[in-house]
Chains A and B, each alone.
Chain A
């Protein structure tokens, strides 16, 4: 009997699992389930954390759709024409998700995400060429942030796509959209390269001449400054010398008492100063004190000439 009981337990367990697989299903947080009855979508289930009932195939069938945000990307760079007939290449990317599974499911061959993306690609392609055609290139690249309308253009494309998707009732919600690549056709890059090269050349010239001008400005101002400093020092020096001379002139009155003596003393000190050293002196008997020699030399010498006499 033991064996039979075990067999029953195992059998009923297996049956329970089989029935559970047949009649129950679960959905994940990130999913939504569309239940079809004889191929027609009848209800959608989005309640994770519980088991849900269904009739077994072929009565009901459960399709699970991923409700996470899907990344979308243009597969190629579309060549667009701006408002001023300039060719540019724009690649967009975006994020979308299934918002209405019941609408989405029959529309795209049993909830095929690649098929939905293909449709979306067409819509975005249209929207972006329309929007870019209304703007000049200066709205996309500009040194003045006030004039730049990059974000506005992205939003315009997005709202166009959203409107289109809503009207068509795809059951899709486009959450965000942006420009991933903004480039130029090959021939245009050649022209841009030429322009850039010329710009660099101009820049080199400007830097050189500016540097030279600046340097020579510094030099000349330095020279002028230096000359000013020296000149003012010279004038100060002259002034000081003058002061000294004026001060010394104050003591001149002393010499007034006897100008003859003063003149004699000055002349003496001039001789003393000028013949300080390394001088060669040539003198004759007429000069005192060598006039003493005369008494021993030729007799008829002229009378002694006094070399220095106070001017009386």
Chain B
């Protein structure tokens, strides 16, 4: 523009200055608008140049389509986080791919109709004695029961080029595959297994969805499936009763086992006691007899020497021992006529012990 100014200045003095104020005003207006245009142009060029640099964030990858074809081979197609350069549009087009480490897709085509508000509050919609197929989702189990099932698939994008360039909506295709796998798995397993054995269900579902992903080459790898299973809301009580019965039954079994332990322990301790008692009895009997035999042997010579003396000595020794141990001793004098005396005893029980009365009957 400076060229233009320089160039146009020399003829300016030749121009009739005062006579055309209108054209001068026009020239001024034009030059100021040219200035604006110049400014805008420079701005546009700057924007154009800057727009050729782009930043890839940590949670994404990007690929450049040069004239419609991805730049690079194999793994190098994907540009990692950082600053990258691309040729101006339409030569290069940048496609960004959101890649968190693991992505999720949820299948809720088997879930009952609910609203986010109810979900948030952890509440359930009112139970109906039937399910309207137009808004209620559920699956049929192998034994033709109805269950509500919701699955969440965590996956890893292993082939982003395939995932992004070969499908109009790969996540939707993945969700369809998950729906498909879910009803197929449910159609194979009975209701009680689905409800109680979450692990087996999850494994079967992951296997099935992996098979579908493989067959369709969706460019992802299934990491794991999480499932939630619920009986129909209308039948909640009926299903709860089964659970209660199961708990009660296992409690009864545990109690029975406890009783079994207790009674067998008791029995074995009784058995040990019995045997021990018998053993000690045996020992005592043997020792006692042996002791007696020994004493007998010792006493025999004395007896043979004078039987009467030995009798008297032994007898009196025992009687005096017995008498000194006895609690009560009652001596009855003989009646004058030599007849035996009659004796009446009033016996009390032990605790309120009284001395037995011995009314001497004359």
Interface residues of A (CB under 8 A from B): 2-3, 26-31, 48-51, 66, 68-71, 73, 77, 89, 93, 95, 137, 140-143, 145, 148, 150-151, 175-176, 178-187, 189-190, 192-193, 196-197, 199-201, 203-204, 207-208, 210-212, 214-216, 218-219, 221-223, 225-227, 229-230, 232-234, 236-241, 243-245, 247-249, 251-252, 254-255, 257-258, 260-262, 264-266, 268-269, 271-272, 275-286, 288-290, 293-294, 297-298, 300-302, 307-310
Q: Decide yes or no whether B250 CB sits under 8 A from chain A.
A: yes
Residue in B closest to A143 when the chains form the complex, CB atoms: B142
Partner among A184, A223, A240, A272 whose Cβ is within 8 Å of the Cβ of B279:
A240
Partner among A241, A283, A308 whose Cβ is within 8 Å of the Cβ of B330:
A283
A308 near B248 with CB under 8 A, answer no
Rounded to whole angstroms, the CA-CA distance of A286 and B146 in the bound complex is: 103
Q: Decide yes or no whether B309 CB sits under 8 A from chain A.
A: no
A199: B residues at CB distance < 8 A: 145
Partner among A50, A214, A297 whose Cβ is within 8 Å of the Cβ of B67:
A50
Rounded to whole angstroms, the CA-CA distance of A145 and B90 in the bound complex is: 55
Partner among B109, B263, B333 whose Cβ is within 8 Å of the Cβ of A285:
B333
B249 near A211 with CB under 8 A, answer yes
Known contacts A200-B235, A200-B241, A218-B253; decide if A208 and B282 are in contact (CB<8 Å): no
A283: B residues at CB distance < 8 A: 330-332
Interface string of B268-300 (1 = CB under 8 A from A): 101110110111011111101110110111011
Rounded to whole angstroms, the CA-CA distance of A306 and B315 in the bound complex is: 11
Interface string of B175-192 (1 = CB under 8 A from A): 011011001100111110
Known contacts A211-B249, A230-B267; decide if A275 and B322 are in contact (CB<8 Å): yes
Rounded to whole angstroms, the CA-CA distance of A233 and B275 in the bound complex is: 6
Please give the distance in Å from B33's CB to the nearest CB on chain A. 19
B167 near A189 with CB under 8 A, answer no
Q: Decide yes or no whether B121 CB sits under 8 A from chain A.
A: no
Rounded to whole angstroms, the CA-CA distance of A298 and B113 in the bound complex is: 119
A183 near B133 with CB under 8 A, answer yes
Partner among A141, A187, A244 whose Cβ is within 8 Å of the Cβ of B187:
A141
Residue in A closest to B239 when the chains form the complex, CB atoms: A200
Q: Decide yes or no whether B12 CB sits under 8 A from chain A.
A: no
Partner among B142, B245, B288, B299 whose Cβ is within 8 Å of the Cβ of A265:
B299
Residue in A closest to B283 when the chains form the complex, CB atoms: A244
Stretch at the interface among B21-29, B46-54, B124-132, B150-158: B124-132
Interface residues of B (CB under 8 A from A): 3-4, 7, 65-70, 90, 93, 109, 129-134, 137-146, 165-169, 172-173, 176-177, 179-180, 183-184, 187-191, 212, 215-216, 232, 234-235, 238-239, 241-242, 245-246, 248-250, 252-253, 255-257, 259-260, 263-264, 266-268, 270-272, 274-275, 277-279, 281-286, 288-290, 292-293, 295-297, 299-300, 303-304, 307, 310-312, 314-316, 318-323, 325-334, 336, 338, 340-341, 343, 356, 358
Please count the residue pairs between chain A and chain B whose beta carbons lie under 8 angstroms apart in the complex: 368
A262: B residues at CB distance < 8 A: 296
B184: A residues at CB distance < 8 A: 150-151, 179
B325 near A48 with CB under 8 A, answer no
B326 near A69 with CB under 8 A, answer no
Known contacts A193-B130, A233-B272; decide if A288 and B319 are in contact (CB<8 Å): yes
Rounded to whole angstroms, the CA-CA distance of A301 and B250 in the bound complex is: 85
Please give the distance in Å from B87's CB to the nearest CB on chain A. 12
A275 near B325 with CB under 8 A, answer yes
Partner among A178, A189, A227, A276 whose Cβ is within 8 Å of the Cβ of B131:
A189
Please give the distance in Å from B193's CB to the nearest CB on chain A. 9
Question: 7 nearest interchain CB pairs?
Answer: A244-B282, A211-B249, A233-B271, A49-B69, A237-B278, A226-B267, A28-B68
Further pairs besides A69-B173, A189-B146, A257-B300: 20, Cβ < 8 Å: A29-B68, A49-B67, A50-B67, A71-B172, A193-B232, A193-B235, A207-B245, A207-B246, A218-B253, A218-B257, A221-B260, A225-B263, A232-B271, A233-B274, A237-B275, A241-B282, A254-B296, A255-B296, A258-B300, A282-B343
B241: A residues at CB distance < 8 A: 200-201, 204
B275 near A192 with CB under 8 A, answer no
Rounded to whole angstroms, the CA-CA distance of A209 and B145 in the bound complex is: 24
Rounded to whole angstroms, the CA-CA distance of A230 and B67 in the bound complex is: 95
Known contacts A204-B241, A255-B296, A310-B311; decide if A180 and B133 are in contact (CB<8 Å): no
Rounded to whole angstroms, the CA-CA distance of A278 and B322 in the bound complex is: 10
Known contacts A184-B133, A197-B235; decide if A301 and B334 are in contact (CB<8 Å): yes
A288 near B316 with CB under 8 A, answer yes
